[in-house]
């Protein structure tokens, strides 16, 4: 199968290579990769270098091609998306092995590229809100960088969760976009939130 791997730490170290197509064992899925997205984790992992070719990429969407003998959640033909495990080879390849327990079914309303772009940003926002901050409906939340990857999905999740959302953005276009995503208020500066009709935020 075709893949993109690196050995050095700069962009020039990325090379097209050929690898054997892996076979799933345990609870792994073999996914035919249809789309991937690039996140800061890819740059951080590349900067670590590698003595042998290493495949990067951990956000992907695709179709299940085969399943391991202990897999029970998916079957061949299922459309899936996920943020993978950085301790394993990445998804910048035609096929990718991933544990089914960190995989979700691709939303029917999204194409593969859109689904691949959501995985890590959505997990980051979800875990921040519900696992760490324990947000409660009716309270207000300040999202700094509302037009960014995590911020933009965070606005939408927060609104579904019943929060009042104040978002910051740096330009008039991105301020308007934050409002389109559902932010109750958007501003260029978090220092101005105290005078807003929503009041100071309960969480940031």
In whole angstroms, what is the distance from residue 71 CA to residue 66 CA? Answer: 10
Sequence length of the chain is: 204
In whole angstroms, what is the distance from residue 168 CA to residue 23 CA? Answer: 46
51-55, 120-124, 176-180, 195-199: least confident range: 195-199
CA-wise closest residue to 122 among 104, 144, 139, 101: 104
pLDDT of residue 186: 84
135-161 residues labelled b (16+ CB within 10 A) or e (exposed):
beeeebbbbebbbebbbbbbbebbbeb
Helix (H, G, I), strand (E, B) or coil at 168: strand
- Rounding to the nearest 10 degrees, give the CA dihedral for residues 193, 199, 200, 203: -110
CATH among 3.30.2290.10, 3.40.50.970, 3.90.180.10, 2.60.120.10 for 2-112: 3.90.180.10
Q: Does domain 133-195 have CATH number 3.40.50.720?
A: yes
- Write down the pTM of the prediction: 0.84
**Structure tokens belonging to residue 185:** 């208020």
Is 190 a residue whose pLDDT tops 80? no
Average confidence (pLDDT) over 99-125 = 96
pLDDT of residue 187: 82
Average pLDDT, the chain: 91
Please list, in sequence order, all residues whose beta carbon lies within 8 angstroms of the beta carbon of residue 140, skipping any fewer than 6 positions away.
Answer: 163, 164, 165, 166, 198, 199, 200, 201, 202, 203
The structural domains of the chain, with segments of one domain joined by +, span: 2-112, 133-195
Q: pLDDT confidence of 88, banded at 50, 70, 90?
A: very high
On the 0-12 / 13-18 / 19+ scale of CB atoms within 10 A, 118 is buried
Is 195 a residue whose pLDDT tops 50? no
In the chain, % helix, strand, coil (3-state, to 5) comes to 30, 30, 40
Beta bridge partners of 4: 16
pLDDT of residue 49: 80
**Structure tokens belonging to residue 126:** 């979800």
Higher-pLDDT residue of 156 and 10 is 156
DSSP string, 14-80: EEEEE-PPP---TTEEEEEEEEEE--HHHHHHHHT--SS-EE---EEEEEEEEE-TT--S--TT-EE
């Amino acid at each position: 199968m075709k893949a993109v791997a690196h050995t050095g730490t700069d962009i020039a170290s990325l090379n097209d290579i050929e690898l054997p197509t892996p076979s799933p064992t345990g609870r792994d899925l073999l996914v035919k990769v249809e789309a991937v997205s690039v996140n800061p984790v890819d740059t951080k992992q590349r900067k670590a270098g590698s003595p042998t070719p290493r495949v990067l990429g951990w956000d992907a969407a695709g179709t299940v091609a085969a399943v391991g003998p202990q897999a029970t959640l998916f079957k061949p033909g299922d459309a899936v998306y996920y943020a993978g495990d950085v301790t394993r080879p990445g998804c910048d390849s035609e096929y990718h092995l991933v544990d089914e327990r960190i995989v979700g079914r691709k939303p029917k309303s999204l194409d593969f590229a859109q689904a691949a772009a959501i995985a890590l940003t959505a997990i980051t926002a979800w875990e921040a809100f519900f696992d760490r901050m324990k947000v409660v409906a009716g309270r207000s939340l300040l999202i700094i960088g509302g037009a960014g990857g995590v911020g933009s999905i965070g606005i939408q999740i927060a609104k579904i969760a019943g929060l009042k959302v104040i978002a910051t953005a740096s330009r008039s276009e991105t301020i308007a976009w934050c409002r389109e995503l559902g932010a109750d208020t958007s501003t260029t500066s978090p220092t101005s939130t105290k005078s807003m009709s929503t009041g100071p935020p309960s969480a940031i």
